[in-house]
Amino acid sequence: MYTMTKEEIKAYLNRIGIPEVQPPTLSYLVELHKANVKHLSWQTLDIFARKPAAIGFQESVQLILHGRSGYCFHLNGAFSALLHSLGYKVSLHHAGVQPLGAEPRINSFHLGLTVNLLNEQQEDEVWIVDVGLGDMPYEPLPLLMGTYEQTPLRYKVMESEVITNGWRLEHDPLASFVGVDFAPTVVQDLEEFRPKHHFYSRSVESPWFNLFLIRQRQALEANELRGCIWKKRGLNGLEKIELDKKSQWLEVLADVFGEPLVNYSHQERDELWKRVLAAHMEWKKIFD
């Protein structure tokens, strides 16, 4: 796994609002996880814009350092490099997300992470770490079977039914997918994930190829911008807001999702907005 330089670590921590390096403890891991999901949105906009980024550890770290984000391979890849560089024992796993209407599977279309830590009794504990899911857990989850409340969403950790000794993260019924299954075997590199990324980012059969989607989690709120529809799920339920003006859409992208499109020219932003608005208008024709 890629080991970041001291300068890269400092820049990454600055990007997610963490003031200083601390020893690799559970409390610091929780702080890092929350800051990562708060400041770095999960997004398909680069795929939608036909500007997909590479998923190597170093490339994903540089993506973060240059004001960008990505989807699971980028976000979990960069975060695993950060944790490794801070002294955590982090492991990579093959995983598979179960969309609504599909069966559970482990197909390496998701990069899973775990962290091993010693507790106060010097016993080894395993934590599920995932900053690369669309409406992600806000904090790490112990790899112990049970239900975990992270308002406004609830998660369940259970045994996987698709692989021996694997585990499953069951998502909140109100969330965007059913769950994700993880294989127990530790993966040493990203090679098996590269063809999956190529399909996701370049194939017309990819679910993300023609879908503008960006998601972000905060302590008590989950946000999603799908095309021109901004969904906010919080303590008071779900609120939907239609963004049909370019200035408003760009403002929400930057202020809510932390995505100011720093590597997009004015012309590229205009073209991106036109495609999003055109798709939105077609969608309205169907449902009006």
Give the H or E element holding residue 27: helix 26-39
pLDDT at 101 over 80: yes
pLDDT at 288: 60
Helix (H), strand (E) at residue 237: strand 237-242
49-63 per-residue burial string, b: 16 or more CB within 10 A, e: under 16: beebbbbbbeebbbb
The answer to whether residues 113 and 92 touch, using CB atoms and an 8 Å cutoff, is yes
Q: What is the pLDDT of residues 30-69, one digit of tens each?
A: 999 999 999 999 999 999 999 999 999 999 999 999 999 9
| Phi, psi of 201, rounded to the nearest 5 degrees | -95, -15
Computed from CA positions of residues 196, 197, 200, 201, in that sequence, does the dihedral angle turn out positive or negative? negative
* pLDDT bracket for residue 287 (50, 70, 90): low
For 283, phi then psi, to 5°, come to -65, -40
**SS3 state at 121:** coil
Distances (CA, A) of 277 to 143, 212, 227, 249, 263: 42, 10, 7, 10, 21
Query: Of 90, 53, 58, 82, whose CA–CA distance to 187 is shortest?
Result: 90
SS (H, E, C) 175-190: CCCCEEEECCCCECCC
Q: What is the per-residue pLDDT across 201-210, written as a single tens digit (0 to 9) for each?
A: 999 999 899 9
pTM (2 d.p.) = 0.93
Domain ranges of the chain: 6-197, 218-287
- The CATH number that domain 6-197 falls under is 3.30.2140.20
Residues 6+ apart with CB under 8 A from 65: 8, 11, 12, 15
Nearest to 163 by CA among 185, 196, 143: 185
CB 71 within 8 A of CB 44: yes
